[in-house]
Each structure stands twice: as structure tokens, then as C-alpha cells.
């Protein structure tokens, strides 16, 4: 009964957020709409981590690897080789998917701190390639000048058009992850996280369950890169570095890594703190770090977890 009420509350909360989001371009200033666009594509990237860590118990610091595979593939094909947008998009998502399929074969052999360390190492390798293979990636300068295509006669260079496409994609990803979470696979993944030995003794292939979840996670990270690159018009080593990986981990934990609403709250909180605090001090990350520590100490389930706790 409690779970049903909890799920209904999550659903109503999400519906309310979507309704408000539909009117955002008519309410917000251009600057705040840009902030909201960043919140949405960064939340998609954070979902790739929260799904893996919250459901599967696999805390990854390597999600930026798939982000980089997709983003750099898109940028290289468009700018360096002149491919069409749709060919480049398919190739970019294919690169993220193939990368997740191959790397997953290695990472799922580890658990706990060893999984964290190998994902960190792989993420740093991606950063090193992006920085040092300058003939392909343009090094520290990155690849610039990427412009979004038109879609069904709508120019995605228009901020509002881009926002609505991103919002639709965000909603679809949310519903997809919710469907997985409530499915037999989602329940099995959660069980594997909590007690893998028992689940394996019941006849489940725990390695396959973890592998599939890893591939899904990598694909979602790759999808977020498309929106990032098209909106900002650039991809550089900074976007696939350790700072980005830690950033999404902080946002996920801050909002609540075990839910779907939590990462959205966490990303929104971190971005708003960055925007507001950076106006007064260059050391705003110290303040965000302090907030993060306080949340860990007093709200271990994150902001959304605390909200749900207060409702009980």
C-alpha cells in the first residue's frame, strides 16, 4: 500500500513538473530558459548514472566515456567529414551503444570499489584520448561550430523549438526508465544489487542482468551528448573529464539517487547554486561541496528522499 501511494505521488509530481515545463518558454526569460535546457540534458546524463547506481548498485565514474563517444563521433562526422545530420546522429548513438556493449564485458566482472575504480580509469582514458589525439579531436580547443538541423520544418537553432524537442525526449526517457524499474527486469536488477548470491541461486543470470543495465546506461549517456553538443555547438575534453563525472554523481546523490525525480531535483539545485553563487564568489564550488556534505549527513536519501519521508 505504501509503495502504491509512493508511486502515485511520484507520478503526480512528474505530471505537475511536465505541465509547468510546457509553459516555461512563455514564462521564463531567455536566460532562464537556457538554464532549464541545461537542466534537462544534464538530468538525462545523470539518469544514466542513477539508473546504474540506484537500481543496480554500480556506482560509475565513467559515464562521460559514453558521453564523449557519442558527442565526439557526432562532431567529427559533421565538422571534419561533412556527413549529414541523421547519419552522424545514428553513428553517434551507435558508437555509444557499441562502446557500452564492449566495455560492459569488462566492467561487469567487478563489483563495489573495484567497479568504481575501473570505471574511473576508463573515463580518464577517454579524457586523455580527447585531449591528446589532437589530429582527430582538436585537442584542448575541442570541436566547434556544430549547428542543429531542422526537424519537420522547425529550425532547432530556435531556442524554443530545441527546448520542446528536448522536453519530449526527456519525458520519453523518464517513462522508459520508470517502465524498466517497475518491470520484472527492474525488480531483478534491484535484487541483484541487494543480494546477488541469493538471486543467482534462484537461477537468474546476474551477470547478464548487470550487463544489460550497463548497456542501457551507456546508451542514455550517449543520447544526452547529442543535446549537449547541438545546443552548445562544441565538445571538448573538459566535457568528458573527471570533473563532469563527479558533477553528475554529486547531483544524483544530492537529489536522491534511488528515484527518478531525485536526479532532476539534484541537477536543478546544483545548476541554480552555480548560477547564483558564481555572481558573488569564484569559490562557489566550496559552498556547493558544503551543501553536499550536509545532505549526506542529514538527508542520506537525498532531497527527494527527505520529502517522501516527511510525507509518511
Q: What mean pLDDT, rounded, does the chain reach?
A: 91
- Residue 6 has a pLDDT of 54
User: Which tops the pLDDT comparison, 9 or 16?
Assistant: 16
Per residue in 219-260, pLDDT tens? 999 999 999 999 999 999 999 999 999 999 999 999 999 889
User: Which tops the pLDDT comparison, 8 or 142?
Assistant: 142
Per residue in 172-184, pLDDT tens? 999 999 999 999 9
Q: How confident is the model at residue 143 (pLDDT cuts 50, 70, 90)?
A: very high
User: Which tops the pLDDT comparison, 204 or 43?
Assistant: 43
- Chain centroid, CA 162 distance in Å: 18
Lookup: cell for 248: 553528475
Secondary structure (3-state) at 257:
coil
Going from N- to C-terminal start, the domains of the chain cover 2-311
- Residue 244 has a pLDDT of 93
Strands 143-144 and 150-151: unpaired
Question: Percent of the chain having pLDDT more than 70?
Answer: 96
Q: How confident is the model at residue 55 (pLDDT cuts 50, 70, 90)?
A: confident
Please name the helix (run of DSSP H) or strand (run of DSSP E) that holds residue 295, with its range, or none: helix 284-298
Per residue in 293-304, pLDDT tens? 998 888 888 999
Q: What pTM value is reported for the model? A: 0.94
290 phi, psi to nearest 5 deg: -65, -45
In this predicted structure, which of 116-120, 137-141, 296-300 has the lowest mean pLDDT? 296-300
Taking the CA of residue 64 as centre, how many other CA atoms within 13 Å lie in the half-sphere pointing to its CB? 27
d(CA 298, CA 60): 24
Q: How confident is the model at residue 1 (pLDDT cuts 50, 70, 90)?
A: very low
Please give the CATH number for the structural domain made up of 2-311.
1.10.3470
- Chain centroid, CA 246 distance in Å: 12
Average pLDDT over residues 184-198: 87
Q: How confident is the model at residue 8 (pLDDT cuts 50, 70, 90)?
A: low
Amino acid at each position: 500500500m505504501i509503495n502504491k501511494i509512493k508511486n502515485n505521488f511520484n507520478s503526480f509530481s512528474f505530471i505537475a513538473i511536465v505541465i509547468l515545463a510546457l509553459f516555461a518558454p512563455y514564462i521564463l526569460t531567455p536566460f532562464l530558459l537556457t538554464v532549464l535546457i541545461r537542466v534537462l540534458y544534464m538530468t538525462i546524463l545523470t539518469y544514466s548514472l542513477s539508473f546504474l547506481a540506484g537500481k543496480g548498485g554500480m556506482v560509475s565514474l565513467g559515464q562521460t566515456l559514453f558521453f564523449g563517444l557519442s558527442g565526439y563521433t557526432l562532431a567529427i562526422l559533421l565538422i571534419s567529414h561533412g556527413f549529414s545530420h541523421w547519419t552522424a546522429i545514428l553513428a553517434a548513438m551507435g558508437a555509444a551503444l557499441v562502446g557500452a556493449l564492449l566495455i560492459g564485458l569488462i566492467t561487469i566482472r567487478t563489483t563495489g570499489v573495484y567497479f568504481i575504480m575501473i570505471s574511473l580509469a576508463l573515463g580518464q582514458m577517454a579524457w586523455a584520448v580527447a585531449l591528446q589525439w589532437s589530429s582527430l579531436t582538436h585537442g584542448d580547443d575541442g570541436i566547434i561550430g556544430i549547428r542543429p538541423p531542422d526537424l519537420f520544418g522547425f529550425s532547432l537553432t530556435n531556442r524554443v523549438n530545441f527546448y520542446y524537442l528536448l522536453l519530449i525526449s526527456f519525458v520519453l526517457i523518464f517513462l522508459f526508465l520508470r517502465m524498466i524499474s517497475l518491470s520484472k527486469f527492474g525488480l531483478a536488477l534491484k535484487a541483484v544489487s541487494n543480494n546477488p548470491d541469493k538471486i543467482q541461486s534462484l537461477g537468474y543470470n546476474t551477470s547478464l542482468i548487470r550487463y544489460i543495465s550497463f548497456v542501457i546506461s551507456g546508451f542514455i549517456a550517449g543520447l544526452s551528448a547529442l543535446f549537449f553538443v547541438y545546443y552548445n555547438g562544441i565538445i571538448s575534453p573538459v566535457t568528458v573529464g573527471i570533473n563532469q563525472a563527479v558533477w553528475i554523481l554529486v547531483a544524483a546523490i544530492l537529489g536522491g539517487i534511488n528515484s527518478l525525480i531525485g536526479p532532476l531535483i539534484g541537477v536543478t539545485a546544483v545548476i541554480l547554486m552555480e548560477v547564483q553563487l558564481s555572481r558573488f564568489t569564484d569559490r562557489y564550488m566550496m559552498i556547493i561541496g558544503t551543501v553536499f556534505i550536509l545532505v549526506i549527513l542529514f538527508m542520506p536519501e537525498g532531497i527527494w528522499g527527505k520529502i517522501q519521508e516527511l510525507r509518511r
